[in-house]
């Protein structure tokens, strides 16, 4: 079982990896919107997954579900850990 700090790091890496897979500009755009709309960063999204969900909906429209699905795929092996499972559920 991972520590809370490790769980957060794993989730943040999954988010960043997913966005970078789309493009560097996508990661930059999401970071910028998180900062301007919520005064937050990607690492804050672990504690506030609704921030990320709202920004992704704003940027991608209905395609945001695909991005969330990709994050979910990266984290699937960790969903036995309740905090990560809850993080994923809150982003849906």
Could you report the per-residue pLDDT of 21-75, keeping only the tens digit for each?
999 999 999 999 999 999 999 999 999 999 999 999 999 999 999 999 999 999 9
Structure letter (DSSP) for residue 80: T
> Residue 81's domain is classified under what CATH number?
1.10.1200.200
Distance between CA atoms of residues 53 and 49, nearest Å:
6
Structure letter (DSSP) for residue 39: S
- pLDDT for 2 beyond 90: no
Where in the sequence is the domain holding 51, given as residue range(s)? 4-91
* Domains: count for the chain: 1
Query: What pLDDT was estimated at residue 37?
Result: 97
- 82's tokens: 């309740």
What region does 61 belong to: left with phi over 0, alpha with psi -120 to 50, or beta?
A: left
44 close to 38: Cβ distance less than 8 angstroms: yes
């Amino acid at each position: 079982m991972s520590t809370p700090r490790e769980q957060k790091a794993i989730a943040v890496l999954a988010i960043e990896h997913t966005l970078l897979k789309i493009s560097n500009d996508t990661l930059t755009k999401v970071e910028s919107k998180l900062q301007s709309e919520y005064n937050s960063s990607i690492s804050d999204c672990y504690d506030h997954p609704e921030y990320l969900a709202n920004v992704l909906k704003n940027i991608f429209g209905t395609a945001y579900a695909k991005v969330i699905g990709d994050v979910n795929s990266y984290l699937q092996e960790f969903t036995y850990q309740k905090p990560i499972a809850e993080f994923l559920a809150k982003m849906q």
